[in-house]
Amino acid sequence: MNLSKMRNLLFLTFIYFLFVPNLFARSAPDSFADLVEELIPSVVSIASKTIIKEQNQQQPIPRFPEGSPFDEFFKDFFDNQQRQSPSQRPMYGLGSGFIIDSSGIVVTNNHVIEGADEITIIMSDQEEYKAELLGRDPKADLAVLKFDPGEKKLNSVNWGNSDEVRVGDWNIAIGNPLGLGGTVTAGIVSAISRDIGNGPYVKFIQTDASINRGNSGGPLFNIDGEVIGINTAIISQTGGSIGLGFAIPANSAKKIIQQLKDFGRTKRGWLGVQITPVSREIAESLGLLNEKGAFISNLNPEGPSKEAGLQEGDVILKFNNIEINKMTDLPRVVAESD
């Protein structure tokens, strides 16, 4: 090969390595507008109405001369009124949700509709529909609603794979914060598998997209327009967004949602053990290399763990071939098992 051809080959190789990596890199678009335009019709606002019953405040009884026939009459009348006429007042709540089926199936948080006597779905075009509750799971803070869209054609979401979410990925939240339906915010995934003390069954996706009151139950999308999480909670000293929002991962939610649709409740796996963290002392006494796993401190004699041969003092390191790195991993993994 002559010198001229070698120079040309080296130049082409340089150009290849300069530009090819950029062809495969994922970058944020110049605007999310086209994507958001497609997604907004699948996101709904949810208004809940709860009737609160309160006893009437004690009203003063007119005073009459002692022994007057009116004295006994009014006393009996007012006592009867206090017992039989409690006052009622409506309490309203606002939240978000999203359509997962064109027949009118909506997903939201349990705390958005908990205790509601009346639930209204408000579409992005402001059309309203009465909804019924198909099922709810307070422990995972999920609920499934159903409404009849009539002749209206509905847009439903596509689920994404939340196990593929990486810290630093772009995401988009759409919801109804403070009653401002159709609000769009964007950010990045700040962390994954967050434990924020909201129960043992969910490890949250953390995002810095603005999440405020009313965003609860709304979807967290990736930039492919797929739902990767359900916005559920924020950490804030003021009640407003400070960039600490948390979403239930889609993969954790999908199985629960399907069960709520089918059975109206959630069926969870059960092991029948009481567990504690593996301390350094426990790890050393058992000859373990680290403090991973869940230490069995007590066993239910009628539970499946007893039948399987587990004993108090055992350490569970894997369940269904899933590693148990921390004690808190075990309840979630067991609950998700068939």
Residue 329: both structure tokens together:
């991993």
Query: Among this protein's residues, is 111 annotated catalytic?
Result: yes
Tell me the sheet residues that pair with 121. Answer: 46, 129
Query: Among this protein's residues, is 338 annotated catalytic?
Result: no
Alpha helices by DSSP H, listed for 135-290, are: 250-263, 280-285
Q: How far is CA 116 from CA 49, 50, 216, 217, in A?
A: 5, 5, 16, 15
Cβ-defined contacts of 182-186 (< 8 Å, 24+): 182/40, 182/43, 182/124, 183/215, 184/32, 184/36, 184/40, 185/209, 185/210, 185/211, 186/32
What 8-state DSSP symbol labels residue 117?
A: S
What 8-state DSSP symbol labels residue 284?
A: H
Tell me the sheet residues that pair with 91. Answer: 50
- Interior/surface letters 82-94, b for 16+ CB within 10 angstroms, e for the rest: eeeeeeeeeeebb
Query: Among this protein's residues, is 216 annotated catalytic?
Result: yes
Q: How many CB atoms lie under 10 A from the CB of residue 206?
A: 21
- Residue 228 CA to its chain's centroid (Å): 11
Catalytic choice (42, 48, 111, 190): 111
Token pair 């055992």 is found at 314
Q: How far is CA 251 from CA 164, 178, 183, 254, in A?
A: 10, 28, 25, 6
Catalytic choice (137, 141, 208, 329): 141
Closest listed residue to residue 338, CA positions, set 272, 271, 273, 267: 267
CA distance 119 to 92: 10
Catalytic choice (216, 241, 252, 305): 216
Q: How many CB atoms lie under 10 A from the CB of residue 250?
A: 24
Region of 143 (left: φ > 0; alpha: ψ -120 to 50; beta: rest) is: beta
- Residues forming the active site: 111, 141, 216
